[in-house]
Amino acid sequence: MNLQSYKIFLFIFFILNIAFQSPSCLDSKGNKVDYFIALKHPDSTEFSYCDSSKPCKDLESTKKELNDISISPLLKTLQQIKSLKSDKYASVFWNDEVAEKDISLTYAHSKGIMGLDKHNGFLIVHSAPKFPLIINDEIDLKIQDGQQIFAQHFFCISTTSEQLNNIAEGYTIDWPYVYASNNATSILDQFKNIQQLISKKKNTDLQQKVIPFQSHKGIKFEKFSKSGSWVVPFYENVVSTHIKSGLIVESWGSPQETPSCQGEFQVFSNLEVAFPKQDEFKQTKDHSKYAISTDQKLHFVCLGDINRQQTQWKRGGGTGQQSQNNQPIGITFEKIIGNGTFGVVYLATLNDTNEKVAIKKVFQDKRYKNREFEIIKILNHQNIIKLKQAYYTKGNKDDEVYLNIVMEYVPETLSNLIRQYRKIKQQIPPQLLKVFSYQLIRGLAYLKGISIAHRDIKPQNILTDSENFLLKLCDFGSAKKLVKGDSNIAYICSRYYRAPELIFGAAQYTTQIDIWSIGTVIAEMILFEPIFQGQNSVDQLIEIIKIIGSPTKEQVLKMNPNHNQYNFPQIKPCSWPKFFSKQKPDPLLVDLISKILIYVPSERPTPLEALLHPYFNDLRNEKFYQSYPNMPDFFNFSNEEISTQPQLKNHLIPDWYKNKQIDNLSKDFNQKVFFKDSQK
């Protein structure tokens, strides 16, 4: 080995030796990790855990003890800096509760630990009071018995000592109570902010600051800081305004105080959230503190230690925040199940429940709200796809943001179902055709009740579950809430399913454009192909005329009063029974289609009127239900659904169903009375 090679070898060895010896976050086996999150369970030292060794999608319960030094990532990490007399590393410990000492409320509501040498170190942000104890200049490596009652969080991040020094500037603004430190002069001489933190010198020049930093592997974090002299709610005035997102905040709460919920963005307290067992947050033994973003911008997780009570506004404090840029915690992507100009649809799994979901990822133009998201948030009907949650992710470019809409997953589309039956050359079973048509119209009745036009009903946008006789409308990318008198774009809806008034350029249309689309979809379930297949708008109108005949001048004016061309060839309408003679569908269904597919929107049946068509009388027969026990409820009409024609409610709901509901209410009442009596 020549001299130059030997020097290179020594340099590499020196760098590796530094990296190996430097304090860092450690996992349960003592291996270095970029970060870890540990959540101690209440009434024990068992903990849930995740770290950077794999995507931190969820906290996994370990069934192990956080106090067991042989497997505890927290204690293994702290063991690196156990002695406060060593000159190999420096350390700082702060807490707002210290054993055998009352801490002034002028100090920050903050708890944390730094350990570092000249090159690298770690930061632990936690929520545990009086932790860790320092005895004879050494860390007591355990959580004390009195502190095991409550759940606590521990968030460790590995980073460089230079970045820890930058973070320390934020803590000098917070001004926490430093109760112990290893002020190794040879190390801290170059880190003035850490020295200032140890000496309890408050930074009075700044009221708040957001300090960006990175872990060793480049994961981006931010340290949020607030001075106690700035008497404002921390999450509302510092965190939410910076990340431009609403927040749901979990923090230690007092029943006597009301958490604040004010500011530019909505910040909700978990005090207001009920758990599945109907326990309120204030009744739980959870002292950990976190915040998650709601429905704005990107997906964030914050971990810190600052209360939201008003009495805490006068104290300093902060939190560390991690941006989950790839996907939110708790979701596993599986495969692409759809794509188009709108974006991409993925099949995914919610890790906590193993529920399958569909995630629609679309580019978010910052200049506009996503109309589909704004509409789907307010929809609530069994025949409309259900929104689960939504979050934002970054694209490849800094200014690219994508909205991810998480919805319930339904296995097939009506388009695929039609294709399957066409392939085997069999008609869709009459019962399935009937219940799908009924549910499709019911979904439209609900939309009409809240004045929303779907504007793109077609087989591809209808989800079906044949085994459970279930149908749901989806894809509200073209949907709009219609306001009487307002103009709307006429060039909307896929051509084959476009209502004639749209072809005639009507700008003030109604939700009756959707009933036309439904008529074409029902016809397609019989024909296995679109009933009107024009090559362009003019050709589409010609295809319509071939079947339902030429419109009269009066009909054209009722479709669009501003249309002034009426020169159409005089074509007589064809016979609907003859048109469907090859497929031989139920004559009542043919009659329903013939009443829907007419020119004048106001003369088409409304959705509720269509549901009362004799074709659906079988569904109102109790014997039909007895034959198909897994059939969905067809008669649980909501107030919105019947709001346009409430006088039809009694006709829509059969007597046997009404009597059954009365019987159920009576049984429920009797059970409650019996239960109350039995408690006396």
Residue 154, classed as helix, strand or coil, is strand
Q: Which residues are annotated as a binding site for ATP?
A: 361
Q: State both tokens at 13.
A: 């060895």
* 8 A C-beta contact, residue 158 and residue 122: yes
Q: What is the distance between the alpha carbons of residues 279 and 283, in angstroms, rounded to a whole number?
A: 6
- Provide the pLDDT for residue 406: 92
Greater confidence, 289 or 622?
622
The model's pLDDT over 131-186, given as tens digits with 9 standing for 90+, comes to: 999 988 899 888 877 666 788 889 999 999 999 999 999 999 988 999 999 998 88
- Provide the pLDDT for residue 292: 59
The model's pLDDT over 337-366, given as tens digits with 9 standing for 90+, comes to: 888 777 899 999 987 788 999 999 998 877
* DSSP type of residue 613: S
Contacts of 549 (CB under 8 A, 6+ apart): 571, 572, 573, 574
- Provide the pLDDT for residue 625: 83
Reported as type and span, the H/E element at residue 472 is strand 470-473
Q: State both tokens at 365.
A: 């133009």
* 8 A C-beta contact, residue 479 and residue 371: yes
The CATH number of 331-408 is which of 3.90.226.10, 3.40.50.970, 3.30.200.20, 3.40.50.300? 3.30.200.20
Residue 626's pLDDT band (cuts 50, 70, 90): confident
Q: What is the distance between the alpha carbons of residues 79 and 142, in angstroms, rounded to a whole number?
A: 11
Q: What is the distance between the alpha carbons of residues 652 and 610, in angstroms, rounded to a whole number?
A: 10
Instruction: Give one DSSP letter per residue of 412-453, joined into a string.
Output: EEHHHHHHHHHHHT-PPPHHHHHHHHHHHHHHHHHHHHTTEE
Please state the rounded mean pLDDT for residues 609-626: 94
- Provide the pLDDT for residue 396: 72
Reported as type and span, the H/E element at residue 592 is helix 587-596
> Among all chains, which residue has been given the structure tokens 């709460």?
253
Residue 553's CB is within 10 A of a number of other CB atoms, namely 11
> Among all chains, which residue has been given the structure tokens 């910076």?
242
Give yes or no: 539 in active site: no
* 8 A C-beta contact, residue 269 and residue 261: yes
Name the catalytic one among 174, 456, 475, 514. 456
**pLDDT exceeds cutoff 90 at 503:** yes
Region class of 22: left (phi > 0), else alpha (psi between -120 and 50), else beta:
beta
Residue 249's pLDDT band (cuts 50, 70, 90): low
**pLDDT exceeds cutoff 90 at 401:** no
**pLDDT exceeds cutoff 60 at 648:** yes
Instruction: Give one DSSP letter per residue of 6-36, joined into a string.
Output: HHHHHHHHHHHHHHHHS---B-TTS-B-SEE
Q: What is the distance between the alpha carbons of residues 27 and 60, in angstroms, rounded to a whole number?
A: 14
Alpha helices (H) along 100-248? 161-174, 185-188, 192-198, 234, 240-243
Residue 351's CB is within 10 A of a number of other CB atoms, namely 14
Greater confidence, 368 or 525?
525
Q: Which residues are registered as beta bridge partners of 318?
A: 225
Residue 519 identity: G
Mean pLDDT of the chain: 83
Please state the rounded mean pLDDT for residues 450-472: 96
What percentage of the chain has pLDDT greater than the value 70?
78
**To the nearest 10°, the Cα dihedral for 118, 120, 125, 126?**
-90
Q: Which residues are annotated as a binding site?
A: 361
Of 13-22, 375-384, 485-494, minimum mean pLDDT range? 13-22
- Provide the pLDDT for residue 368: 73
Please state the rounded mean pLDDT for residues 37-50: 86
Q: State both tokens at 608.
A: 């509720």
Q: What is the distance between the alpha carbons of residues 122 and 477, in angstroms, rounded to a whole number?
A: 46
Of 25, 393, 35, 31, nearest to 218 by C-alpha is 35
Q: What is the distance between the alpha carbons of residues 541 and 256, in angstroms, rounded to a whole number?
A: 69
Residue 396 identity: N
* Segments making up each domain of the chain, as ranges: 17-273+284-323, 331-408, 412-645
* 8 A C-beta contact, residue 294 and residue 266: yes
- Provide the pLDDT for residue 324: 41
- Tell me how many helices (H) and strands (E) the chain has: 21, 27
Of 53-57, 232-236, 278-282, 522-526, minimum mean pLDDT range? 278-282
- Provide the pLDDT for residue 64: 85
What percentage of the chain has pLDDT greater than the value 90?
53
Contacts of 99 (CB under 8 A, 6+ apart): 130, 133
- Provide the pLDDT for residue 143: 83
Of 279-288, 474-483, 546-555, 618-627, minimum mean pLDDT range? 279-288
Residue 671's pLDDT band (cuts 50, 70, 90): low
Please state the rounded mean pLDDT for residues 71-93: 93
Q: Which residues are registered as beta bridge partners of 40?
A: 47, 152
Q: What is the distance between the alpha carbons of residues 49 and 60, in angstroms, rounded to a whole number?
A: 5
* 8 A C-beta contact, residue 447 and residue 553: no
Q: Which CATH architecture has domain 412-645?
A: Orthogonal Bundle (1.10)
The model's pLDDT over 548-576, given as tens digits with 9 standing for 90+, comes to: 999 999 999 999 999 887 778 889 999 99
* DSSP type of residue 189: T
**pLDDT exceeds cutoff 90 at 393:** no
The model's pLDDT over 306-315, given as tens digits with 9 standing for 90+, comes to: 555 555 555 6
